[in-house]
Amino acid sequence: MSVKQQLLDKINRGEAKLAVIGAGYVGLPLAVEFAAAGIETIALDVDPEKVAMLNRGQSYIGDIPTEQLAPLVESGKLRATTSYEDLQEVDAISICVPTPLRQKSDPDMSYINAATDAIAEIAHSGLLVVLESTTYPGTTYEVIQPRLTQGGLKVGEDIFIVFSPERIDPGNETYLVRNTPKVIGGVTPACTEVAAALYSHAIDTIVPVSSPTAAEMAKLLENTFRAVNIGLVNEMALMCDRLGVDVWEVIQAAATKPFGFMPFYPGPGLGGHCIPVDPHYLSWKLKTLNYTARFIELASEINTNMPLYVLSKITDALNDEGKAVRGSRVVVLGVAYKPDVNDVRESPAIDVIELLRQKGADVVFHDPHVSRLRVDGQELSCTPYSTDLLAGADCVVVLTHHRAYDWSDIAAHSPLIVDTRHVITPSENGPRVVTL
């Protein structure tokens, strides 16, 4: 019996053991879903504090309640470790490590390289390795495959290598790991077949593609599509401002068209690990081929400058009240990059607060999900929410539209509001509300 068939039989019987490298926003939900499906799963992370919390059955990810995690740990289906030695007997490994950008917007592959090199040390015949971290097209062929086969293992016969992009959307209560279709691109058809068999235990819909590069490009298309369209609607907001037109009314009207239009909405900038970052992987790769990804670079320029536009709206709003930014007390509501999560990675709120502080404003923030925020090397603490907090502000700036906020209460007690999310309805007796 071939190695592939032995592995498939083990997977189909539900006896295969899985390791997930990286127990963060992507890796932990994946590990939990597999464990819930009955697959013995090990979550590996370099952070000993996270590992200790997981082994106590305690979650640190908003999308994974402790009540969901604890029974899986107690049953032995899920455990955590910091050591690759504990992965020697697993049948499959999923890599879910960060892939940030360097200062020059080129990919930082150090986390992927480190994980792959560590896997190579324990790689054995009958092992499936899946890269889920978003990266540039060609990574699986150029980085993963050479490292894992240097010991003599043959792809598609002894070892099975796949790219399957993560599609985790923090805070999304509708589409979770199980009901979000999974794209799978193996180095060989056998690789795709093995990965599809494994992931079908935890995910309802499997979408095979012809190669890892096709899967890598699919992920980048998804996020570039969003980045470019957000850039477009942000520029539309700038144009409407010049024309004296309400961009929100324009979008609402356009969205009544039942075909050929999908509404996107302006905001203070892009946040999160994916949308502001991932398109740059593609742009960087194409530059190595003497091609300029013009849409990506233009959208990035527009989106990156939105915090400056928000600053100008705050400055103008204060000026109209006869106040300067310097010395004014500005209360920022919401600093997470999206509603109802505690994730501040790449949040535009950080840039807005930094710009305001540079102009001499006295800035405090409140966020029901974020207790601390690092801005320009300094750690700021969340200020408790109260009507006195709002009433004592010269300007209240809405940057993240968390459901926990009572917008009518905010409108009732704030003297001046800059609303970047179009959540507060102006009224005759209420404060002046400035929107994008």
Hey, where are the domains in the chain?
Answer: 3-210, 220-303, 305-435
CATH superfamily label, 220-303: N-(1-d-carboxylethyl)-l-norvaline Dehydrogenase; domain 2 (1.10.1040.10)
- Across residues 152-159, what is the average pLDDT? 97
Q: Give the containing element (helix H, strand E) for 93.
A: strand 92-95
pLDDT of 91: 98
- Across residues 53-62, what is the average pLDDT? 96
Q: Has residue 125 got a pLDDT over 80?
A: yes
Task: Please choose, from the candidates 235, 211, 375, 397, the residue with its C-alpha nearest in 3D space to the C-alpha of residue 306.
Answer: 235
pLDDT tens readout for residues 282-309: 999 999 999 999 999 999 999 999 999 9
pLDDT of 1: 87
Kindly give the pairing relationship between strand 362-366 and strand 329-333. Answer: parallel
Fold of 3-210: Rossmann fold (3.40.50)
- Across residues 87-98, what is the average pLDDT? 97
pLDDT of 276: 87
pLDDT of 426: 86
pLDDT of 104: 75
The encoded tokens of residue 63 equal 């999308």
pLDDT tens readout for residues 322-352: 999 999 999 999 999 999 999 999 999 999 9
| Owner of token pair 């994980």 | 115
pLDDT of 273: 79
At position 287, the amino acid (one-letter code) is K
Q: Has residue 272 got a pLDDT over 90?
A: no
Give helix 3-12 / helix 189-199 axis angle, nearest 10°: 10
Q: Has residue 103 got a pLDDT over 80?
A: no
Cα separation of 421 and 27, whole Å?
Answer: 30
**Same fold for the pair 220-303 and 305-435:** no
pLDDT tens readout for residues 386-403: 999 999 999 999 999 999
Catalytic site includes residue 382 = no
| Owner of token pair 């010049």 | 242
Of 96, 240, 274, 395, catalytic: 274
CA 115 to each of CA 56, 89, 167, 186, 362: distance values in angstroms, whole numbers, following the listed order? 25, 17, 20, 19, 43
Cα separation of 31 and 56, whole Å?
Answer: 16
Confidence tier at 275 by pLDDT (50, 70, 90):
confident
- Domain over 305-435 is classified CATH 3.40.50.720: yes
pLDDT of 70: 97
pLDDT tens readout for residues 403-431: 999 999 999 999 999 999 999 988 877 88
Residue 361 DSSP class: -
